[in-house]
Structure 1
Amino acid sequence: MAYEAVYNVKIRNKCIALTFDVGWGKKVLSPVLDTLSANHVNKATFFLSSTWVKERPQLALKVKARGYEIGSHGQLHENYTEHTNAWIIREVKQAQNTINRVTGIKCRLFRTPNGDMDQRVVRLLGKLGYKTIHWNVDSLDWKNPGIKNIIQRSSTNVKSGDILLFHASDSARQTAKALPSILRRLRRQGFQFVTVSELLSMRIK
Structure 2
Amino acid sequence: MADPLFEIGNHAWSHGNFGIMDPQNMRDQALWTQAEYEILRGEILRGAAEKGASLPDIAAVPNLFRLPYGRCTDQALTLLAHLGLQVIQWDVVAEVMADNSRPELAADVARRVRPGSILLFHANRVPKGTAALLSGVVRELRGRGYHFVTAGKLLAMGQPWRTRDGYFNKPGDNKALDTRFGVDGTGRRPSAKEIAE
The normalised TM-score by structure 1 is 0.63
Give the one of 66, 79, 98 matched to 2:3.
66
- Does the C-alpha gap of structure 1 residues 198 and 181 become closer, same or farther in structure 2, counting only changes over 3 Å? same
The equivalent residue for 2:83 is: 128
Q: Secondary structure at the match of 1:70?
A: coil
Q: Identify the structure with the greater strand proportion.
A: 1
Q: 1:122 to 1:153 in 2, by over 3 A?
A: farther
SS, match of residue 128 in structure 2: coil
Which string of whole-angstrom CA distances, capped at 9 and with x for unpartnered residues, describes residues 80-114 of structure 1?
12111111111111111012111244110001211
**Matched AA of 1:163:** I
Q: What is the letter of the counterpart of residue 75 of structure 2?
A: R
RMSD: 1.9
Q: Distance between the aligned counterparts of 1:181 and 1:140, measured in 2?
A: 12
After superposition, the Cα gap between the structure-2 partners of 1:150 and 1:121, relative to the gap in structure 1 and judged at 3 Å, is: farther
Cα–Cα, structure 1 residues 150 and 100, in superposed 2: closer, same or farther, change >3 Å? farther
1:120-148 deviation per Cα after TM superposition (whole angstroms, max 9, x unaligned)? 2112111110010110000125x244323
Q: Whose Rg is larger? A: 2
Paired with 2:159 and 2:68, the residues of 1 have a C-alpha distance of 29
Q: Which runs of 4+ in 1 moved over 3 A?
A: none
- Where structure 1 has 5 or more consecutive residues not aligned to the other structure, the ranges are 1-63
Q: Which residue of 2 aligns with 1:103?
A: 41
C-alpha separation in 1, matches of 2:98 and 2:39: 33
Q: Does the CA contact (< 8 Å) of 2:107 and 2:140 recur in 1?
A: no
* Percentage of matched positions with identical amino acids: 30
CA contact (8 A) 1:138 1:153 kept: no
Residue 78 of structure 1 and its aligned partner are, at CA, apart by 2.3
Q: How many residues align?
A: 141
Match of 2:22 in 1: 84
Match in the other structure for 1:182: 137
Higher relative contact order (CA 8 A, sep 6+): 1
